[in-house]
Structure 1
Amino acid sequence: MTDLLRILPDFPTARYANLLPTIEREGLTTADLLTLQVPDIGKRTQLPLLDIKRLCAAVLEALHVDLGVSDKQQQKQPKDDNGGKGAEKATSPGALKRTGTELLAEPTRYISTLDPDLDLALGGGVPAGYITEITGESGAGKTQFLLTLLLAVQLPPPHGLGRPALYISTEAPLSTRRLSQLLSHNPFFQSLPASSKPTLDNIIGTVTPDLESQDHILTFQVPVEVARRNIGLLILDSVAANFRAEYDRGASSSANLAARSTALLNLGLHLHELARKHNLAVVVANQVADRFSGSSFKGSSAAQPFSLPRVSQESPLAKRSKGGLGTPVHLSGWSVDPPSSGTADLVRSSMPEPTPEEAPAPPALLLDHQQRWFTGWGDAYPYPYSSSHYGSSEQNLKTPSLGLVWSTQIAARVALWKRPVYGRKEVLDDGEGESTTTLRNWRRWMKVVFAPHVAGSGPGLDGAVEFEVTMGGVRGVDKDKGKRGKGKRKGNEEEEEEE
């Protein structure tokens, strides 16, 4: 309930002083009061149902008044110059602050990546007023994108916002050496006059080594800096580091997960409020984790499809659809017996066992099925089980950190993929030549998983844009000219260790 006064500063809390402490102690938010049933809230708080119903109705009515869609008039009594109360000002009922047509007509400003291919895939660049996440493995190029945005935001429209940037790091400090390198070698900056070039003076950086300092900086210091300096870009690199260190220690108890979910919701709400209020772009970098499922296809006819009880993650609704533990679950001719103590889960079928390509899709309520629309790596079913697409089963299956709770807080997710490129190296031994496979380089791709302003890419690498990291930043690879496969680019060696 700690977000009530932030959402509705004028809410009359004194009338419900006997209810709010208990609701706050139980961790209920304003969204919970609007979405949960009154009996469910009563079970958690042990408060009278009638009082809870009145509180929920009051919160809903206050939101309607704040939006201007209530039949009641909102009365304001501003003080005049003499200290007295002036005339009451009533807002007309049914008048929205901004209509849907006005919102659509309002132009969205973008921050460019300074590469036309990448900007085209992003629908113009990184939009202002939204939370955009850039996720990928270590070395996929996340930091290179972020550093480029720190300089591009200082450019005038249409390439930037003409405003300074704020960089908050939870791991390594800001690399000013790499920023200077981008300024010196990027072709776009080289074409600008000296007076119009971005500078490091317009980039504010800080480091938050733990979650407590991160919350303090974001809650108290960042709003002041944003308003004082007219910040146009806020970067948090990375959002998962402090949460992993704070909540992943010890056993993953339900209380620990609930506390982390609440903290993530508050963080998302705060960042969204900053982006909307100040029309700035919020960009967060996120880590990924390896995804393991119960399936284990080896390419043989005896391979089994996924085992329903073994699936690593599932949505809450999936549990309800399974029924009791003593009831087998039937799916496309397969029957899955309930797990029994001391015995492994068995999957039996009266039909011939399918090949990996013919395996049935997971049930729609399982998270392993749902996440293909919002993770960027789980969207290629049945490709994760097909050796023809990835080269081996379950290769490159990743999941962005912080789970589904954090995914609901962001407006856009951009996933960066990388894949090794191997070459041949001749090794002379006793006069005989031996061919050895060595790692030569990395290939990288960028794909839009979901976004409000541009359509997402297709499954796997369909629609993804290949790019490379150079001395001047990130640059799209021209497939027609066949740049790849001819050795390392000049300047790539120095960026491999940057990120």
Structure 2
Amino acid sequence: MTDVSQIVPTLDVSRCSEQLFNSFDEANLQCADIAALSETMGQLTTRLRRPADEINGFVDALRASTVPKRPQKMSDFAKEVEYFTSGDSELDRCLFDGRGIGTRSITELCGASGVGKSNFLTQLCVGVQLPRLFGGLDKNAIYISTEAGLETRRLNEMVRAVREQHAHSPEVTVSAGRVFCITCSDLESQEHILTYQLVHAIRTRNVGLVVLDSIASHYRAESGGGQGSATSRRTIDLLRCEAALRRAARAGCAVVVANQVTDLFGSETSLSPRDYETHGDVFALDMQTRFYSGWKWPDGDERPKLPAMGQIWASSVDTRLVMRRQGMEDDDGQPSSTVGRRTMAVVFSSRLAPHEATVEIWTGGVRYCQA
């Protein structure tokens, strides 16, 4: 029996007769077979014993139902994209072309633990609530946490800071209650929420921003090691996750995902670009990763790092932001979250030029500061 009605339930069959579908059943032709044989119409007419015009009408309807409709011009797509402030106008100017975070795309923010990723993501949840007059979208945010949950104390501090900044503007109604928090305890619950619940929540709760903090947590914990079958399964899961986030982006949201990093090991990482041209292969993975990872070669004592989840995930995002911190130890040589120079950089983007800015963490979130 043919699977056309199950594979393409939205198919317009007004131009097709019942006899044509009976012919599909008799010839045992599935949807994939019909699509493949449509290039050679003679074989289809021979196997189905139906008029060529009728088969052509069905093939046209099949293509119309399966091929996604895209904007005719890039300008048409650009009109659909909206922007909202990152929470700091100087940071918007330095990194985000003066506009801020764009909707209808997936933005990744990666960095080591304690560098300030969650602070910046929480700040975005407040910025998207601002009225359009002040650079926001006047929409709510969804914060999906896979680790420790949203830090409500920091969220309330940022809300108070924005209210104080706009104390004479009664139309500014930012609130911690406009950030909907979801905690995913395992990979199964994460996939269920992203696949079935997220788009419905976006449409019913006036959501303009979706934050996932972080993408790597459950995949690292449940991938089952580096064996071939586990790697293949994780690749499929990542592509499924990317498809779910892409649906949220197409619904008109900005999707911002936090990602962890891992150290880049190996003796070749100490080679300079000129050394690679002399002693190494310029097409080697270690050479090429410097262009999309955010880390080049060791800067002082810092070992270069790689964003987690590999190239499969790297090719799924539209913009990659990297937060780094140098000089992370205090005078006693102990790790500290209050010392060191923090930077945020655009590594690659379909909308923004690569650039780096020095930032600092304060009560109101993350802001630009002079180097």
Q: TM-score, normalised by structure 1?
A: 0.59
Instruction: Report whether the alignment pairs 1:413 with 2:323.
Output: no
Change (3 A) 1:421 1:204: closer
Change (3 A) 1:142 1:100: same
How far does residue 284 in structure 1 lie from its aligned partner after superposition? 0.5
Distance 1:72 1:54 in 2: 10
Q: Which of the residues 342, 359, 364 maps onto 1:467?
A: 359
How far does residue 176 in structure 1 lie from its aligned partner after superposition? 1.5
Q: Secondary structure at 2:147's aligned position in 1?
A: coil
Q: Percent identity?
A: 31
Cross-structure match for 2:44: none
C-alpha offsets along residues 424-463 of structure 1, whole Å, 9 cap, x if unaligned?
68xxxxxxxxxx9996712100000111111113xxxxxx
Distance 2:131 2:112 in 1: 32
Change (3 A) 1:155 1:283: same
Q: Whose helix fraction is larger, Structure 1's or Structure 2's? A: 2
The code of the aligned residue for 1:171 comes to E
CA contact (8 A) 1:186 1:473 kept: no
Instruction: Report whether the alignment pairs 1:366 with 2:284.
Output: yes
Q: Which moved more, 1:258-267 or 1:415-424?
A: 415-424
Q: TM-score, normalised by structure 2?
A: 0.78
Change (3 A) 1:268 1:196: same
Cross-structure match for 2:249: 275
Instruction: Report whether the alignment pairs 1:258 with 2:176.
Output: no
C-alpha offsets along residues 337-393 of structure 1, whole Å, 9 cap, x if unaligned?
xxxxxxxxxxxxxxxxxxx6852344243221221221111xx3xx43xxxxx124x
Q: Secondary structure at 1:359's aligned position in 2?
A: helix
Distance 1:263 1:19 in 2: 30
How far does residue 8 in structure 1 lie from its aligned partner after superposition? 5.6
How far does residue 422 in structure 1 lie from its aligned partner after superposition? 6.4
Report which structure shows greater RCO (CA 8 Å, sep ≥6): 2
Superposition CA RMSD, Å: 3.7
How far does residue 187 in structure 1 lie from its aligned partner after superposition? 7.5
Distance 1:295 1:201 in 2: 50
CA contact (8 A) 1:445 1:466 kept: yes
Q: Which runs of 5+ in 1 are unaligned?
A: 21-50, 60-69, 77-90, 298-304, 306-355, 385-389, 426-435, 458-463, 480-499
How far does residue 404 in structure 1 lie from its aligned partner after superposition? 0.3
CA contact (8 A) 1:184 1:190 kept: no
Q: Which of the residues 106, 120, 129 maps onto 1:145?
A: 120
The code of the aligned residue for 1:224 comes to H
Instruction: Report whether the alignment pairs 1:117 with 2:65.
Output: no
Counterparts in 2 of 1:48-127, with a 5 A limit? 54-56=34-36, 98-106=71-79, 108-120=81-93, 121-123=95-97, 124-127=99-102
Distance 1:127 1:5 in 2: 37
The code of the aligned residue for 1:417 comes to R
Distance 1:284 1:6 in 2: 33
CA contact (8 A) 1:114 1:188 kept: no
The code of the aligned residue for 2:281 comes to P
C-alpha offsets along residues 277-296 of structure 1, whole Å, 9 cap, x if unaligned?
x2110111000011112337
Distance 1:478 1:10 in 2: 56
The code of the aligned residue for 1:206 comes to I
Instruction: Report whether the alignment pairs 1:404 with 2:311.
Output: yes
How far does residue 97 in structure 1 lie from its aligned partner after superposition? 5.6
The code of the aligned residue for 1:112 comes to T
Cross-structure match for 1:133: 108
Cross-structure match for 1:10: 10
Distance 2:331 2:210 in 1: 44
Distance 1:412 1:10 in 2: 33
Distance 1:58 1:203 in 2: 50
How far does residue 102 in structure 1 lie from its aligned partner after superposition? 4.1
CA contact (8 A) 2:208 2:252 kept: yes
CA contact (8 A) 1:131 1:284 kept: yes
Change (3 A) 1:6 1:105: farther
How many positions carry a matched residue from both structures? 335
Cross-structure match for 1:156: 131
Change (3 A) 1:422 1:244: closer
The code of the aligned residue for 1:132 comes to T
Distance 1:437 1:259 in 2: 39
C-alpha offsets along residues 148-204 of structure 1, whole Å, 9 cap, x if unaligned?
111111112262111111111000121221111112234774445345230122111
CA contact (8 A) 2:108 2:257 kept: yes
Distance 2:191 2:157 in 1: 32
Instruction: Report whether the alignment pairs 1:238 with 2:154.
Output: no
Change (3 A) 1:127 1:291: same
CA contact (8 A) 2:201 2:207 kept: yes
CA contact (8 A) 2:106 2:249 kept: yes
Cross-structure match for 1:454: 352
Cross-structure match for 1:288: 261
CA contact (8 A) 1:234 1:282 kept: yes
Change (3 A) 1:106 1:72: farther
Distance 1:414 1:6 in 2: 41
Q: Which runs of 5+ in 2 are unaligned?
A: 14-20, 40-55
